Amino acid sequence: MSRPSPVPGGRPAGRFRLCGWGAVLWAAALLCSSAAGRAALAAPPGAAERPALAQARLGFIAQLYAERDDFRAESEILAFLHDLPDDPLGRQVELVRAKLYYRAGRLAEADAMLISLVDRYREGAAAEDARLLLGFSWLRQGRLAEAAPLLAGEPPLDPLREAPPYDAGRAAAWSTALPGAGFFSLGEGGRGATALGLDLAFLAGTVIAYQQHNVPVALISFTVAAALYSGGREAVREEAGRLNDRWLDARREAWLARSSEPRLMAVAFDLKF
């Protein structure tokens, strides 16, 4: 009867084969248990766990929003809406996404999200906040007539209906009578003096060149003077428009500071529905 041939160290080869199979079986069991653990972690939460999970994730989104980590906040928002599409807190999460775009000045995209929220959810805190934020957005875009119905209960809109203080037509008329005079009517004395001085200098150069029978130089000087005169009138109109826009922006910012916009843009979520 043959016996297993010995190997160095005095241990039979058959024992090595048994140990090898044991290691294989142990590794397979470890892999199976690991896969089962991963599957358990990846499994969707039960009905009892979903509300707590949703509130925890919304709290994390609120933290990222407060820290102005907009990229991560939007990533978490999209993950929430994908993982928990029917959760009641989803409407609040959508509102946070609209706030992100509103805060970044991407008003057209924020408007689309807010209109969608208002259309789908007629009642509730999120729908009310969406209407209010949409009104603020339209107000920032100068759409006062459309914003007014959504801003009921906010400070009166009368200050925003006042006419701008700078009259572009009158300023242009002053510059027609005297180059640069329109800037004086806008309170821009330095620009007015510069425009008047340049125009008078080229007119004087035109006269002097003509008296010296230097017709080409006289024509050039007169052309420049005419261009400065015409351009000055347009520049006065543009300056009046710019000053009016700045005045309106300041009025809007002051109105919004008195409204509930600061409260709405803060991280103060109502988690009860």
Among residues 152, 185, 220, which one ends one of the domains? Answer: 152
* Rounded Cα–Cα distance for residues 16 and 27 (Å): 17
Overall average pLDDT of the 106-118 stretch:
95
3-state secondary structure of 188: coil
Q: Is residue 117 domain-resident?
A: yes
Task: Supply the CATH number for residue 76's domain.
Answer: 1.25.40.10
Residue from 184, 182, 186 nearest 231 by CA: 182
Q: Is residue 272 part of a domain?
A: no
Residues of the chain above pLDDT 90, percent: 41
> Is residue 113 included in any domain, yes or no?
yes
Task: Say yes or no: 139 and 203 in one domain.
Answer: no
Average pLDDT over residues 136-154: 93
What is the per-residue pLDDT for 220? Answer: 85
The whole-number average pLDDT for the span 124-129 is 87
| One domain for residues 174 and 138 | no
Residue 46, pLDDT score: 55
Question: How many domains does the structure of the chain reveal?
Answer: 2
Average pLDDT over residues 123-146: 92
- Domain for residue 42, yes or no? no
Mean pLDDT of 54-62: 91
| The pLDDT of residue 1 is above 50 | no
Distances (CA, A) of 233 to 170, 175, 184, 191, 219: 11, 6, 13, 12, 21
Of residues 243 and 189, more confidently modeled:
243
- Out of 89, 119, 152, a domain closes at 152
Place of tokens 């994390």: 60
62 and 92 housed in the same domain: yes
Residue 28 lies in a domain: no
Q: Are residues 145 and 187 in the same domain?
A: no
97 in any annotated domain = yes
Q: State the CB neighbour count (10 A cutoff) for residue 222.
A: 17
The residue that leads in pLDDT, 57 or 211, is: 57
Beta strands (DSSP E) in the chain are none
86 and 132 co-located in one domain: yes
Q: Would you state the pLDDT for residue 20?
A: 56
Same domain, 58 and 142: yes
Name 97's Cβ contacts closer than 8 Å, sequence gap at least 6: 74, 77, 113
- 273 within domain boundaries: no
Which residue is listed with tokens 């689309």?
Answer: 112
Q: What is the average pLDDT across 262-272? A: 70
Say yes or no to pLDDT of 25 above 80.
no
Q: Supply the range of the domain harboring residue 186.
A: 168-258
Give the residue-averaged pLDDT of 18-46: 47
Residues 121 and 202 occupy one common structural domain: no
The mean predicted confidence, pLDDT, of the chain is 80
pLDDT at 41: 37
Considering the domain boundaries, does residue 221 fall inside one?
Answer: yes
Q: Are residues 137 and 184 in the same domain?
A: no
